[in-house]
Amino acid sequence: MANLSNNNKTPMVAIVGRPNVGKSTLFNILSRKSASVTADIPGVTRDRVITHANILNKKILLVDTGGFSPENSDTLSSMVMNQVKVAVQEADIVLCLFDASNSPTSIDEDMVDFLRKSGKNTIFVANKCDKKQSELQIGEYYSLGPEEILPVSATHNIGINDLKEKIIQLLPPLKKCEESPEDEEITQNGNYRFKVLFTGRPNAGKSTLINRIVGYERVIVHSSPGTTRDCIEIPVEVQGREIILVDSAGLRRPRSIKNYLEEVVVLRTIKEIEKVNIAVLLVDFREGIVQQDERLINVVMEKGKGLVVGINKWDLAKRMNLNSYMKNLPFKEIFPFVPVVAISGLNGWNIDKLFSAIFTVRNAMLKRIPTARFNRFISQITLMHPHPRVSGKPVKIYFAAQTGINPPEFSFVTNKPEEISENWKRYLITKIRESFGFEGVPLLLRFKPREQKKTK
């Protein structure tokens, strides 16, 4: 369905360790981002989290993994362990993380043995070296076989520079890191790689869909709602275009958020919407679009992002009429411009149409209307339906132009900028969409007064 995209062959560094040794904290320190959720609870990270990181002005891909736990027979834990193995297999360097505040365990022993057999370049790191006794405890870990163990404290930023220098020593010569915008990166071909966030309520099938797109189990799929906790970024090539897929945690209703960790995950997803270009809201067709989904649509629109709605799990709709289902979607009355595509993430049905809708929305986000053409258009529609008089005086539009993209923004010079009614704004937006499209994107309108001529 799609090709994984790491065309620049950026070196990959994976962080591995048993649960609760501070992998995500170290990941966030090295990447200088809060890409991984951290909490003092074992097993917070489940999927691999991948991000670009600048290590001593060199660009790498940094990978956070779930807890190494080979003895656990639980299905979900086994899936986490499979993700760890894939991360090690893909990595150029592995950071093997120990907990210096505790003695080695059988899991640490199994982990060292696993990494030795993998043949990967491994840097052994003892985390939580905040106190003298912690550093002394590192000696116990030498019994597992490492020749060198670097003491660090990810929480207090101790020993991190030494670790960075060690990483650079083991990597081949790298190009200097060139900073790129947060929401878009330029690919080798000179095209823009944009981000698409897959979001929705728990168990809407986000991870299943992404695995179908990628072609293998890149993110963990489990029947338990809320399996995904971090926002997972996956660079892929679809229909010849490079994009970054972002899998997010399921957004629950506020009253369903039961603990601090879930609250952090929900806030992280909402914050992630600010960083992407387009959001795909996935909905289980059996549950339909509920109030929580409509709130999320409003958030996406308020953040100025493109939107596509995917009605998922249509493979389970035995005798349901698709056209009737689409016509009865309540949100279409409020957001008729948002494209809706019925799909099956499980068997791949209609995924090509989903991406066609995504690319249509992306093009709409970048569309520009020539100023002369837009002015003629505004003159025509205001003549047909002028703004109601204000205090007995007509409202005049002297000039109009598109002044922004991503999202599209239109500015109007008028004699009554503060008194343009909401109804007339909606009229303008409707007419702009009818004439120029802009499917799936919010439109921003700005009204400002005409500049007064300066007197000599």
Which are the contacts of 393, defined by CB distance < 8 A and separation ≥ 6?
A: 415, 416
**Local confidence band at 224 (pLDDT 50, 70, 90 cut-offs):** very low
236 and 326 inside one domain:
yes
**Local confidence band at 133 (pLDDT 50, 70, 90 cut-offs):** low
414 pLDDT above the threshold of 90? yes
> What integer pLDDT is reported at residue 222 of this predicted model?
36
311 and 383 inside one domain:
no
407: containing domain: 371-449
156 and 272 inside one domain:
no
227 pLDDT above the threshold of 80? no
Interval 94-108 mean pLDDT: 92
Distance, CA of 420 to CA of 429 (rounded, Å): 13
Which are the contacts of 240, defined by CB distance < 8 A and separation ≥ 6?
A: none
Q: What is the pTM of this model?
A: 0.64
pLDDT in tens, 245-280: 888 765 555 444 344 334 444 566 677 888 899 999
Q: Crossing angle for the helix pair 23-31 and 160-170, nearest 10 degrees?
A: 80
428 and 351 inside one domain:
no
Token digits for 120?
Answer: 């990967």
Residue 455 lies in a domain: no
Helix H or strand E segment including 208: helix 206-214
Token digits for 101?
Answer: 């505040």
Residue 52 CB neighbour total at 10 angstroms: 17
> What integer pLDDT is reported at residue 108 of this predicted model?
93
**In sequence order, which ranges of 276-370 are alpha helices (DSSP H)?**
291-302, 322-327, 351-366
**Local confidence band at 115 (pLDDT 50, 70, 90 cut-offs):** very high
Lowest mean pLDDT among 19-23, 222-226, 262-266: 222-226
Q: Crossing angle for the helix pair 351-366 and 206-214, nearest 10 degrees?
A: 90
Residue 456 lies in a domain: no
Helix H or strand E segment including 261: helix 260-275
Last residue in a domain, options 364, 390, 409 = 364
Distance, CA of 222 to CA of 216 (rounded, Å): 15
Q: Return the beta strands (E) in 107-240 as ranges.
A: 121-127, 149-151, 184-186, 192-200, 232-238
Q: Say which CATH number the domain at 221 has.
A: 3.40.50.300
Last residue in a domain, options 339, 364, 389 = 364
Residue 35 lies in a domain: yes
Q: Which residue has the tokens 């009229």?
A: 427
Q: Which residue has the tokens 């293998």?
A: 216
Residue 442 CB neighbour total at 10 angstroms: 20
47 and 98 inside one domain:
yes
430 pLDDT above the threshold of 60? yes
Which are the contacts of 83, defined by CB distance < 8 A and separation ≥ 6?
A: 46, 47, 48, 65, 66, 220
> What integer pLDDT is reported at residue 5 of this predicted model?
47
What are the CA-CA distances from residue 93 to residues 13, 97, 100, 283 (Å)? 5, 13, 21, 39
Q: Say which CATH number the domain at 434 has.
A: 3.30.300.20
Look up residue 79 and give its amino acid.
M
Dihedral over alpha carbons 444, 372, 418, 446 (to 10 degrees):
20
119 and 228 inside one domain:
no
420 pLDDT above the threshold of 90? yes
> What integer pLDDT is reported at residue 174 of this predicted model?
57
35 and 50 inside one domain:
yes
SS3 state at 267: helix
Residue 428 lies in a domain: yes
386 and 427 inside one domain:
yes
332 and 432 inside one domain:
no
The region that residue 360 occupies, defined by phi over 0 for left and psi between -120 and 50 for alpha, beta otherwise, is alpha
Residue 454 lies in a domain: no
Residue 177 lies in a domain: no
Residue 379 CB neighbour total at 10 angstroms: 12
CA pseudo-torsion sign 422, 424, 428, 431: positive
187 pLDDT above the threshold of 80? no
58-64 vs 12-17, strand pairing mode: parallel
Average pLDDT, the chain: 81
> What integer pLDDT is reported at residue 176 of this predicted model?
53
389 and 324 inside one domain:
no
257 and 393 inside one domain:
no
> What integer pLDDT is reported at residue 392 of this predicted model?
92
What percent of the chain has a predicted confidence (pLDDT) above 90?
Answer: 46
> Which has more pLDDT, 403 or 453?
403
Interval 109-131 mean pLDDT: 91
221 pLDDT above the threshold of 80? no
- The answer to whether 387 and 421 have CB atoms below 8 angstroms apart is yes
> What integer pLDDT is reported at residue 190 of this predicted model?
40
76 pLDDT above the threshold of 60? no
What percent of the chain has a predicted confidence (pLDDT) above 70?
Answer: 78
45 pLDDT above the threshold of 60? no
> What integer pLDDT is reported at residue 450 of this predicted model?
86
In the chain, what is the straight-line distance between the N-terminal and C-terminal CA atoms, in Å?
A: 67
CA atoms within 13 A on the CB side of 364: 26
Q: What angle do CA 307, 339, 344 make, to 5 degrees?
A: 95
Distance, CA of 108 to CA of 257 (rounded, Å): 34
Give 109: exposed, middle or buried? Use CB within 10 Å, 0-12, 13-18, 19+. Answer: middle
Residue 178 lies in a domain: no
Interval 294-308 mean pLDDT: 90
Interval 76-92 mean pLDDT: 79
**Local confidence band at 116 (pLDDT 50, 70, 90 cut-offs):** very high
> What integer pLDDT is reported at residue 80 of this predicted model?
75
Q: What's the distance, CA 143 to chain centroid?
A: 41
**In sequence order, which ranges of 303-404 are alpha helices (DSSP H)?**
322-327, 351-366, 371-384
**Local confidence band at 419 (pLDDT 50, 70, 90 cut-offs):** very high
> Which has more pLDDT, 443 or 9?
443
Number of domains the chain contains: 3
Helix H or strand E segment including 51: strand 49-55
191 and 262 inside one domain:
yes
Q: Return the beta strands (E) in 18-77 as ranges.
A: 49-55, 58-64
Number of H helices, E strands in the chain: 12, 17
Residue 176 lies in a domain: no
Last residue in a domain, options 304, 339, 364 = 364
Lowest mean pLDDT among 184-193, 200-209, 306-315: 184-193
Lowest mean pLDDT among 118-132, 241-255, 280-294: 241-255
Phi, psi values for residue 101, rounded to 5°:
-85, -5
Token digits for 21?
Answer: 């040794």
pLDDT in tens, 346-361: 999 999 999 999 999 9
> What integer pLDDT is reported at residue 173 of this predicted model?
67
